[in-house]
Amino acid sequence: MERAVKVSDAILLFDNYGQDSQSLHTSFKIAGYNLPAVVIEDDGFQPDEVMSVYGFFLGDFKSASGENAKPKYFNEITVPDYWEISGNNSNGKVQDMSRERGKIFYAEPKHKRLVRIVDWYDERGIVRFSDHYNQYGAIFARTIFSEKGKRVNKTYFSPEGREIIVENFVTGDIILNESKEVRIFHTKADFVLHFFVKAELKQKRIFFNSLSTPFFVSNKLSASAKRDVLFWQESVNKEIPGNMQMIFNGQAARTATVMVQKKQPYDKLRTLGARRDMVHRLGFIYPFEKENGHKNEALICTNSDRIEYCAELVKALPQMHFHIAALTEMSSKLMSMEDYDNVSLYPGVKADVLDELFVKCDYYFDINHETEIVSAVRRAFLHNHLIFAFKETAHNRDYVAEEYIYPSEEASRMLGDIQAAMADEAVLSEHLRRQKEAAFSENAEKYWEI
């Protein structure tokens, strides 16, 4: 009960509900806190437990859409007669004969092909407006573009199709039609503050993860003490971001603490001389799916047959069984790998089979070229896989210890480390400990101290 009191007056405020925002929200829940979570930029696919600033004023799409409402599948969007819809696991398109008239963008995970945005092109192939779909298959917003393809405004609709909010990207104004009254906000921060009043969010602290609108909101609120917290999750380049420098200089109205959640920015901020009394390390609490069982089963997820050092690893590790999965069909080159007794291939793998593979395996090799699929590295990390990668192929370094990312010319060193982990459970455990440490994996007690 004590720790609940410490942050009972806090709110999580996110620019968007991307992976890092989700991880922070999850971390607080695992630590025992049920904080209100609010997202400013609504993509239509937030969980019901996450409040949307824009969605708050639009109405209840869930109730209006009925019990069986679901996202639009890519070929379910409405198009004129004789226009053709096609798609792959990355995106879709709409064609009128040979002319492309629209492009379909999917919600994550993309291989499910659920519609998030559809761009519509004019006769010159320039996007003129975008339809934004939500998880109930409804168009909840539309963005209009100029003749040069630049955003002009975005209109948000109620479930009945009424215009509720119009955001002007040229002037920065936001117009809200609320209870027969028209309100005009000259900044997004002012609009969010109005939402705070209407939603009766009277919390005294804001936990935020962006130096843009959430930081501006924090600065506009009055406070008797500086108790807001910035959770920094982005990389840092050659200098400390300007708004963060305001915090360090004591110029932020309510924020005096920066919790850094990833290794690169934490190390960089310390190198750049950020105030150590204000900068603290606090990673995510990860919901690990299973313990590592020391099974010699390895997983590779790929949509390409360019897998670095694959055949060499397969031949050098006959006691390791390799499971290679792809969402697409496989080339003849990759299919030939099934000639090895310790290789199983899964072309066009189904979601439930892939789920089983993540549970079954204890190693993940991030050695495929081209794009990452199914957020494989993060999923492997959460399933307690020991992850190895090449510098030329690494897709998500947040979840891999730096010492297990090798130049391709040092593949033999990678092989030696894999063999050592396979031979000795204590070595495997030490590798996993380093992997979690590199990912800033945190425990609940650290969150109780905020």
Q: Where are the domains of the chain?
A: 2-36+203-281, 63-185, 297-438
Residues found in the chain: 450
CA dist., res. 200 & res. 43, Å (int) = 23
52: which strand partners? 39
Buried b (16+ CB within 10 A) or exposed e, 387-405: bbbbeebbbbbbbbbeebb
* Homologous superfamily of domain range 297-438: Glycogen Phosphorylase B; (3.40.50.2000)
**Pairing assessment for the beta strands 163-168 and 151-157 based on DSSP bridges:** antiparallel
**Nearby residues of 35 by Cβ (< 8 Å), 6 or more positions away:** 7, 10, 11, 12, 25, 28, 207
Fold match, 2-36+203-281 / 297-438: yes
Q: What is the pLDDT of residues 265-321, one digit of tens each?
A: 999 999 999 999 999 999 999 999 999 888 999 999 999 999 999 999 999 999 999
Helix (H) or strand (E) holding 256: strand 255-260
pTM value is 0.93
Rounded distance between C-alpha atoms, residue 111 and residue 227, angstroms: 42
Report the CATH fold assignment for 2-36+203-281: Rossmann fold (3.40.50)
- Please give the average per-residue pLDDT across 310-339, as a whole number: 96
pLDDT digit string (tens) for 70-128?
999 999 999 999 999 999 988 999 999 999 999 999 999 998 999 999 999 999 999 99
| Residue-wise DSSP of 356-412 | HHHHH-SEEEE-B-S---TTHHHHHHHTT-EEEEETTT-S-GGGS-GGGEE-GGGHH
State the average pLDDT over residues 39-62.
95
